[in-house]
Structure 1
Amino acid sequence: MAVRFQITIDCQDADAMSAFWSAALGYVVEPPPAGFLSWEDFLRSNDIPLPPAHSISAIVDPDEIGPRILFLRVPEPKTVKNRVHLDIRSDRTDDGKRQKISELVEAGATEVRRVDEHGGWWMVMHDPEGNEFCVT
Structure 2
Amino acid sequence: MTTNWTLTIDCADPALVARFWCTALGYIEADPPQGWDTWEDWLIDLNVPKEDWNGGASISDPNGVLPNISFLKVPEPRTAKNRLHLDLQVAGGRAVPQHLREQRIRTTAATLIAAGATLFQEVPMDNSTTLDHLWLKDPEGNDFCVV
User: Same-fold call, TM > 0.5?
Assistant: yes
Q: Which residue of 2 aligns with 1:133?
A: 144
Structure 1 gaps of 5+ residues are: none
Q: Which residue of 2 aligns with 1:121?
A: 132
Q: Which residue of 2 aligns with 1:49?
A: 48
Q: Which residue of 2 aligns with 1:78?
A: 78
Distance 2:49 2:33 in 1: 16
SS at match of 2:104: helix
Task: Spell out structure 1 runs of 4+ moving beyond 3 A.
Answer: none
Shift, 1:34, TM fit = 4.6
Range moving further from structure 2, 94-103 or 47-56: 47-56
Map 1:94-105 to 2 at 5 A.
94-105=102-113
- Say if 2:122 and 2:134, in contact at 8 Å, map to a contact too: yes
Range moving further from structure 2, 67-76 or 36-45: 36-45
Distance 2:145 2:7 in 1: 17
- Say if 2:8 and 2:69, in contact at 8 Å, map to a contact too: yes
More strand by share: 1
Structure 2 gaps of 5+ residues are: 93-100
Q: Please, what is the CA RMSD of the aligned residues?
A: 1.7
Distance 1:91 1:116 in 2: 14
Shift, 1:50, TM fit = 4.5
Distance 1:69 1:50 in 2: 23
TM score, norm. by length of structure 1: 0.90
TM score, norm. by length of structure 2: 0.84
- Say if 1:40 and 1:50, in contact at 8 Å, map to a contact too: no
Identity of aligned residues (%): 39
| Cα deviation 1:54-97 (Å, max 9, x = unaligned) | 22000000111111100000010001100100101113311111
Largest Rg, 1 or 2 = 2
